[in-house]
């Protein structure tokens, strides 16, 4: 199921055991190397650690009441992070990241992104167009397959205009594929 990334921010994190709200998601932690969500920074009054994180692996379900986990033992602190520590420290932010095409032409800024909640992989970027281009279309939807590179400052995408590979043919005559090369008789006479 595809869900807007901003829809998962400030979402309640519910305990499966008690049925109560334990925390709320505050910030998403995205791995910029493969654009996958690995955790959420969470806030709440009853948390043991400051800051506290909820790893994606510890989420049981996402429903209309919030993110459901087993219990408060699923939250981790900074000292518990081992394998992805560098990614947590990067504080990579996808929202408001500049987007350019491969010719370095400005496309816009990321206003939102679409996540597949089964795998927590970013599937699409919603790009807010610059003012002059927004008269034609104010938002652009960029598929994951169009992303060429992600850096600290910007995202490079394919422009969709491939002038070299799509050369126009000089001969613009239309050929009917159903017409045979030799004319056929219109009627056939059968001898008795």
What number of helices (H) and strands (E) belong to the chain?
Answer: 1, 14
CA nearest to 125, candidates 161, 89, 98, 153: 98
Three-state secondary structure of 13-44:
EEECCCCCEEEEEEEEEEECCCCEEEEEEEEC
Would you give per-residue pLDDT tens digits along the chain (192 residues)?
899 999 999 999 999 999 999 999 999 999 999 999 999 999 999 898 889 999 999 999 999 999 999 999 999 998 888 788 899 888 899 999 999 999 999 999 999 999 999 999 999 999 998 765 555 667 889 999 999 999 988 999 998 754 443 344 444 455 555 555 555 555 555 665
Largest separation between any pair of C-alpha atoms in the chain = 102
- For residue 40, cis peptide bond before it (omega within 30 degrees of 0): no
Domain 2-90: CATH superfamily, name plus number: Photosynthetic Reaction Center, subunit H, domain 2 (3.90.50.10)
Domains 2-90 and 98-157 share a fold: no
- What was the pLDDT predicted at 185? 53
Domain 98-157: CATH architecture, name and number where available: Roll (2.30)
Domain ranges of the chain: 2-90, 98-157
Number of Cβ atoms within 10 Å of the Cβ of 113: 24
- What was the pLDDT predicted at 159? 81
């Amino acid at each position: 199921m595809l869900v807007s990334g901003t829809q998962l921010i400030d979402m309640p994190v519910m305990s499966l055991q008690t049925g109560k709200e334990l925390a709320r998601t505050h910030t998403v932690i995205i791995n910029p190397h493969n654009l996958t969500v690995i955790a959420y920074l969470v806030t709440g009054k009853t948390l043991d650690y400051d800051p506290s994180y909820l790893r994606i692996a510890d989420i049981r379900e996402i429903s209309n009441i919030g993110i459901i986990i087993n219990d408060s033992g699923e939250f981790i602190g900074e000292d518990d992070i081992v394998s992805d520590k560098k990614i947590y420290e990067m504080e990579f932010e996808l929202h408001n990241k500049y987007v350019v095409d491969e010719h370095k032409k400005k496309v816009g800024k990321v206003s939102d992104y679409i996540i597949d909640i089964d795998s927590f992989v970013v599937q699409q970027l919603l790009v807010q167009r610059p003012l002059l281009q927004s008269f034609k279309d104010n938002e652009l939807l960029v598929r994951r397959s169009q992303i060429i590179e992600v850096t600290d400052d910007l995202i490079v995408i394919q422009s969709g205009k491939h002038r070299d590979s799509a050369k126009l043919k000089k001969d613009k005559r239309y050929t009917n594929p159903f017409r045979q090369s030799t004319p056929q008789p219109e009627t056939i006479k059968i001898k008795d």
